[in-house]
Amino acid sequence: MIKVLIVDDQAMVRQGFGALLAAQPDLLVVGDAADGAAAVRQARRLDPDVVLMDVRMPVLDGLAATRQLLGDRVADRPRVLILTTFDLDDYVYEALRAGASGFLLKDAPAADLVHAVRVVAAGDALLAPAVTRRLIAEFAARPDRHRPRPTELAGLTPRETEVLRLIARGRSNTEIAGDLVVSEQTVKTHVGRILGKLRLRDRAQAVVFAYESGLVAAGE
């Protein structure tokens, strides 16, 4: 059973999402919160697997709440799924850096919400193509050619480095397997080793790492 905490300052949004998720046999809504401070308290008390986190909220916004919840980037719980809109490009970038595992547009179809919760709970990142394009554009707008490469990169094998580059370009495991002519299970093994060596939570953080380290350049 996947435990979900819903965080949004609009009661109708919380109730609507709650009703939708509660109707799923494998999802359990354990609580909700109307601001980021309450979200942090609820998350620590209820230990949810996934937190649906709005960004613009009173008292404490969703980014600050995410940072508080995910201060330990290798922690297993919770996974944070950011509720966003297309006009929040800066928030997308900052939320990823804070450790969010994915993004969901507030006007997305109901089936997408259910799918997103399951994907994030399983430990995968959810980066929709439209959001990924905005993320890459954000990196392009913030060039830092003097940023050193983290020493952790030296610990990756050439194949792992190649897989990380492909992850950063938005390639799925299936696509990477096709590119490298290996099995999908082999790719999953490489991804797991990459995340472990770099002490990253998931693919979303791997994308951030690849760009910020200079391994991949925006527009490459």
Fold of 144-212: Arc Repressor Mutant, subunit A (1.10.10)
39-42-46 Cα angle (round to 5): 140
183-184-187 Cα angle (round to 5): 95
User: What one-character-per-residue DSSP string does 73-134 give?
Assistant: TT--S-EEEEEE-TT-HHHHHHHHHHT--EEEETT--HHHHHHHHHHHHTT--B--HHHHHH
Predicted local distance difference test score (pLDDT) of residue 24 = 96
What's the rounded mean pLDDT across residues 78-97? 74
Number of H helices, E strands in the chain: 10, 5
Domain extents in the chain: 2-138, 144-212
Q: What percentage of residues in the chain have a pLDDT greater than 70?
A: 80
Predicted local distance difference test score (pLDDT) of residue 12 = 92
Confirm if 16 and 29 have CB atoms less than 8 A apart. Answer: no
pLDDT digits (tens, 9 = 90+) for 14-25: 999 999 999 999
Up-side HSE of residue 75: CA atoms within 13 Å toward CB? Answer: 20
pLDDT digits (tens, 9 = 90+) for 32-51: 999 999 999 999 999 999 99
pLDDT digits (tens, 9 = 90+) for 116-151: 899 888 777 666 555 665 666 666 566 555 555 678
Fold of 2-138: Rossmann fold (3.40.50)
